[in-house]
Amino acid sequence: MKLVIVESKAKVKTLEKYLGKEFNVIASMGHVKALPSKQGSVLPEKDFQMIYEYVKGASSIVGDIAKKSLKTTKIYLATDPDREGEAIAWHIYNSVTQYLKNNSEISTDTKFSRIAFNEITRDKVKEAILNPRDIDMNLVQAQQARLALDYLVGFTLSPLLWKKLPKCKSAGRVQSVALRLICEREFERAKFDTQEYWSVLLNFLTKDNKEIKAKLTHKDGKKLDKFDISEQEAKELEVKLREKYFKILRIQKKKSNKNPPPPFNTASLQQEAATKLGFTVKKTMQIAQKLYEGIQVEDDIVGLITYMRTDAVVLSNEALTQIRDFINTSFGSNFVPTKSRIYSTKTKNAQEAHEAVRPTNVNLTPEKIKDSLSDEQRALYELIWKRSVASQMKSSVIETISAEATCDDGSHIAQATESYISSSNCYSIIYNSYDEYDDKIEKASIMYSLQEGESLTTQSITPKQHFTEPPARYSEASLVKKLEELGIGRPSTYVNIISVLQNREYANLDKKRFIPNFTGSILITFLENFFDEYFQYNFTAKLEEELDEVAKGKTCKEKLLNKFWKKFNEKIKTIEDKSYQEVSDLMAKALEKIVFPKEDSKKPCPKCGEKNIEIKIGKFGPFLTCAQYPQCQFSKSVADYLSNDIEGNTQNDLVFEDSNKKEISIKHGKYGMYIQQEDKENKSIKRISIPSGLDKNSLSKDLILKMLDLPKVIGQHTETGENVYLKVSKFGFYIEHQSITANIKYKQDPFNIAIDEAVKLLTQTQKLKNKKATTKRIKK
């Protein structure tokens, strides 16, 4: 019996079927050891020694492997074919060896071998078994160096953040660079000045009564630029051009080749799956993992795609031959180019160790195996399959025809342009429908029927208003694409980068686009001012290059880590020596570019009217205050200012006065937002928590007054006759009777809850508590 160790359970069944009864396949369930999230896991003073601990549940897996290894002379470490997989293989080897040593069962006859396959197919798995190798320690060192770098940054920066920067919990080496991209894009948008511009559109009828659409390109003999026409001029042109007669001045035709896109790498797959299928980056990788590990197709388990974490867009010679043969058989020789298309990776710092993401067997068309796949699996597989096949087809031919129409005196020219695919080739694979192209061909055919000198009938003239738009916020996929372009991160890290940004609440997704939270903006401001060189794009990309040098064996991890740590640690100590006030003052000044991105964008103090609002850093974060303090006591959190206008509405600190002249405001406290009602005449204050699940945009004046009226008697309990109260806390609205409380779901209107419904909720809650108490006693 021989052992094969893989990472996931999903691969076990597939490999057992391929390898037969001679092999026992065991899953390690990912990493068996990891760096614990605590001080002392990496020791710079001991040549960056790394202190690993077993992942939860992994020690029993290692023990199982060790015991089974005593009955075999061969163990194949078949973890994923990348740095992470290599590191897992190394940890398994060391852990099993140490386990046997500790139990006095060391077997000198047991031989470990590393095998790797880029696709899980019968032939490739058997080929790997026949060609084992040693663990590549250069790859292991590169993975460890990345892990140590991330640890050293996180566990030295985080304590500094806690001391110097309220609300910021931690900073990651690569995640912070991604956050910087998001924040800089938001700053660009904030600074952006929208400009209005106009165009004039003309609809003509040909002699055959066919419609063509044109745009005015020349006015009074001069070519128009984007901002040349104002609203008034556009409307004047509408009137003026009605009196003109137009004819065709010239017709131009040209052809161009449209080459197929390359096969997918990780980033482009995530981008296309987001655009075409609406998948998140995480979802794309989860589905791709299933397709890679193996799907039951009729009586066999088949790994349908190659390894999905890759920088490369290259295809193996075997894949090229298979795809070209398929195209020739299925579509005809006219679709096959003379030579195979060879794509090169343009991504900075890309590793060419793997192929592109492609189908393992192109003859397994999406149609053939559709019944074996879920809808989502089929959609992603079809995307990968089509892209791979199209990449080896002839270029499509794009034909463009443009017609210039001039008025009778030659003073004004309008142009109509249409493009269509005259020879589809690769596009016949990529697109399911020709509807769009049929429409384009029909419009182009109308243009082809035109003749120079032909008179046109003006059907309509339409002035059209346009506005310039700021650069779009990053989506998950476009952020990954940008990171890839900059050479930051690796295919195996993209999902984690995005998850960390959201889990730490540094950025949110709104309409599938990233918007930095204010905490995230503060963090980046801090890093830009105190650690800028370490979070520059080129610095992070350069580190990736150095990690690649470790992977190639051209340098060692200790040398890389020492070079980084020496300067970084000195920087940490320098900032630690700065006083809290010094850091706060500098941060307050730096935050002005975020809070007031445009020149003179400060607004008057809503309380005293003076235009001299300042930024201060307090215990609970940055806030706006009036420079006239203490004469004017206006204050407002900067987070609120950025999400809402500073001037009066229900989301500002100063909200309104009630009928009794009591000042009502919304405050941000240590435990969340609350409503404050201040009676200055009687010097009394009432505070009500705002439930954390309540959207602050829904805090109308009416709702605030209702909340201030709590606690409120709903009625008398039907059994006890005692009052049942409606109350509120930071956890939500709830009902209270004697010592029993029952939560009200947010979908319910708490202020209109009837007494019989309230009693029912209380009874259900009491029954649930009694059941739990009984279960607890039984267990004891």
Structure tokens at 668: 């941000």
Q: Which long-range contacts (CB under 8 A, 24 or more apart) does 23-31 make?
A: 24/68, 24/72, 26/61, 26/64, 26/65, 26/68, 27/61, 28/58, 28/61, 28/65, 28/79, 28/88, 28/92, 29/57, 29/58, 29/61, 30/55, 30/88, 31/55, 31/58, 31/84, 31/87, 31/88, 31/91
348-372 burial, b if ≥16 CB within 10 A, otherwise e? ebbbebbbbbbbbbbebbbeebeeb
**Secondary-structure percent of the chain, ordered helix, strand, coil, rounded to 5:** 40, 25, 35
What three-state secondary structure class fits 16? helix
Non-local CB neighbours of 158 within 8 Å, separated by 6+ positions: 169, 170, 171
Structure tokens at 132: 């084992």
Given a contact cutoff of 8 angstroms between Cβ atoms, the answer to whether 73 and 3 are in contact is no
Non-local CB neighbours of 534 within 8 Å, separated by 6+ positions: 153, 527, 568, 571
d(CA 415, CA 401): 11
Structure tokens at 547: 């990690």
What three-state secondary structure class fits 261? coil
What three-state secondary structure class fits 423? strand
**CA distances, 762 to each of 25, 732, 735 (Å):** 54, 16, 8
Main-chain dihedrals φ then ψ at residue 323, nearest 5 degrees: -70, -45
343 is catalytic: no
**CA distances, 649 to each of 438, 517, 609, 700 (Å):** 53, 21, 16, 9
Residues β-bridged to residue 23: 2
Half-sphere exposure of 601 (CA within 13 A, CB side): 16
Given a contact cutoff of 8 angstroms between Cβ atoms, the answer to whether 727 and 733 are in contact is yes
Catalytic residue among 76, 151, 292, 307: 307
CB atoms within 10 A of CB 211: 12
Quick one: which of 171, 144, 141, 140 has its CA closest to 155?
Answer: 171
d(CA 730, CA 300): 55
Given a contact cutoff of 8 angstroms between Cβ atoms, the answer to whether 503 and 511 are in contact is no
CB atoms within 10 A of CB 703: 15
Amino acid making up residue 22: E
Given a contact cutoff of 8 angstroms between Cβ atoms, the answer to whether 166 and 619 are in contact is yes
Q: Alpha-carbon dihedral of residues 308, 314, 320, 323, nearest 10 degrees?
A: 50
Amino acid making up residue 666: I
Amino acid making up residue 531: F
By CB atoms closer than 10 A (0-12, 13-18, 19+), residue 303 is: buried
Angle at 559 between CA 553 and CA 562, to 5 degrees: 150
CB atoms within 10 A of CB 598: 11
Quick one: which of 11, 46, 38, 40 has its CA closest to 27?
Answer: 11
d(CA 671, CA 687): 13
What three-state secondary structure class fits 757? helix
Which are the catalytic amino acids? 307
